[in-house]
Amino acid sequence: MRIAKRVEGLPPYLFAELDKRVAAKRAEGADVISLGVGDPDLPTPPHIVEALREAALDPSTHRYPSYYGMPELRRAIADYYDRRFGVTLDPETEVLPLIGSKEGIAHLATAFVDPGDRALVADPGYPVYGIGTILAGGEPVSLPLTAEHRFLPDFDAVDVPPSTKLLWIGYPSNPTAAVAEADTLERTVRFGADHDLLVCHDAAYAEITFDGYVAPSILQIPGAKHVAVEFGSLSKTYNMTGWRIGYVVGNAEAIRMLGVVKTNIDSGIFDAVQRAGIAALTGPQDHVEQMRAIYQKRRDLIVSALAEAGIDLEPPLGSIYVWVPAPAGRTSVDFAAELLDEAAVVVAPGTGYGPHGEGYIRISLSVPDDRLQEAATRLRERLR
Ligand code: MLT
């Protein structure tokens, strides 16, 4: 048996690896608190679960779904863009439901990247931007995001190597929790147009924002549809990580080509899950507001525990993460290992998100309040 080089060379998926470490530590009897993966602990709102229950009882949902998603779901996504961002989308050509945004992010490269091609990827950034590129035979090229530039791209300092076809960014950012204003997205669109790149904006955390900050869509930028697509997810907004439902919107040609890839390798989202997705997008939204308040309180808890331990951070305005500098002299992997060994707290090492994640760890706020409180106490004691 000979394994393909592109898979042989692939690092283990960060969270699969963290799961293994948690299991090993728990097997030693430790009371481990995992602030690793961003996986909401809060339940999916009941009206969405009820929509799934009803749909699952309807045998018409048991057959193959439509390849391009139910028209009603595509319409619900387009209506959300209209309501929330004032962006008009053609549900037929500019909206494509995905089996979770991760799936579409990974597969987009198959449609655009030939062996030897390149993609500029946010560094640090969601690991799948680069992994999709590698699986397509291409090479991810780092787009450095540094504290000096508030983890926003400094396009004046970026050299675009030959054969670069894609540019991946995402705000509110996973993992840095940085947010972007319209001017950053405007510069990104201009840069994409100047260099003939498809700009891919990951907006999975667009609804999880704090202190009155409201995240923009890249599609609000004039001309964006010529060069950009935006990925969205129901996972974090509606606590639906396990359901696998997301979407991509924007440039019609890019969406058409991703559709070509997908129709050849998957058969769409279970219709009952699509109907639940429609209920999520069109139903009451009050729980989203409640969830923002919960995450904001958790963010404050972690930020003040870190401040008491001498690590001062500006409270992040979005996402479900806090991006924390490691104490001087510790690598991100060492620091994460130390917190696991000595405090039984799991965090994600920054280098899991790219070389520029060195010197940081990521804390996820997606654990119940009492466990987060306990983790904050352990972190404070450990770091003092
Ligand atoms: C994360 O922890 O970065 C996310 O939950 C992973 C994902 O969305 O796939």
Model confidence at 136: pLDDT above 80: yes
**Minimum CA distance residue for ligand 1 atom 9:** 102
Q: How far is the CA of 126 from the centre of ligand 1 (A)?
A: 8
Residue 102 CB less than 6 A away from ligand 1: yes
Q: How far is the CA of 104 from the centre of ligand 1 (A)?
A: 14
**Minimum CA distance residue for ligand 1 atom 3:** 38
| Domain spans of the chain, in order of start | 5-43+286-383, 46-282
Model confidence at 254: pLDDT above 90: yes
Which of 279-283's residues contact partners 24+ apart within 8 Å by CB, and which partners?
279/47, 279/48, 279/50, 279/51, 280/45, 280/48, 280/234, 280/237, 280/238, 280/240, 281/73, 281/76, 281/77, 281/79, 281/80, 281/234, 282/76, 282/79, 283/45, 283/47, 283/48, 283/51
Q: How confident is the model at residue 8 (pLDDT cuts 50, 70, 90)?
A: confident
Scored b (16 or more CB within 10 A) or e, 134-171 reads bbbbbbbbbbbbeeeeebbbebeeeebeeebbbbbbbb
Q: How confident is the model at residue 383 (pLDDT cuts 50, 70, 90)?
A: confident
- Span 9-45, pLDDT tens digits: 787 777 777 788 888 889 999 999 999 999 999 999 9
CB atoms within 10 A of CB 50: 13
Report the distance separating Cα 235 and Cα 126, nearest Å: 15
Mean pLDDT of 284-290: 97
CATH code of the domain occupying 46-282: 3.40.640.10
Q: Provide the pLDDT for residue 20.
A: 83
Pick from 173, 236, 241 the residue to mutate for probing ligand 1's pocket: most ligand atoms within 8 Å of its CB: 241
**Tokens matching residue 299:** 């963010």
- CATH H-level, domain 5-43+286-383: superfamily: Aspartate Aminotransferase, domain 1 (3.90.1150.10)
- Span 140-167, pLDDT tens digits: 999 999 999 999 999 999 999 999 999 9
Pick from 37, 99, 236 the residue to mutate for probing ligand 1's pocket: most ligand atoms within 8 Å of its CB: 37
Q: Which atom of ligand 1 is nearest to the CA of 39?
A: 5
Mean pLDDT of 312-339: 94
Task: Characterize the bridge pairing of strands 345-346 and 321-325.
Answer: unpaired
- Span 345-370, pLDDT tens digits: 999 999 999 999 999 999 999 999 99
Report the distance separating Cα 329 and Cα 333, nearest Å: 12
- Report the candidate in 364, 331, 372, 367 with the shortest Cα–Cα distance to residue 350: 331
Residue 170 CB less than 6 A away from ligand 1: no
Report the distance separating Cα 35 and Cα 175, nearest Å: 13
- Residue 153, CB-side half-sphere exposure with 13 Å CA sphere: 28
Report the distance separating Cα 84 and Cα 103, nearest Å: 24
Q: Which atom of ligand 1 is nearest to the CA of 174?
A: 3
246 forms beta bridges with 98, 233
Axis crossing angle, helix 332-343 with helix 369-383, rounded to the nearest 10: 110
**Minimum CA distance residue for ligand 1 atom 4:** 38
Please, are residues 108 and 122 in contact by the beta-carbon 8 Å criterion?
no
SS3 234: coil
Report the distance separating Cα 85 and Cα 182, nearest Å: 12
Q: Provide the pLDDT for residue 46.
A: 98
What dihedral angle (degrees, nearest 10) is formed by the CA atoms of 147, 148, 153, 154? Answer: -160
Pick from 14, 41, 126, 245 the residue to mutate for probing ligand 1's pocket: most ligand atoms within 8 Å of its CB: 126
Residue 37 CB less than 6 A away from ligand 1: yes
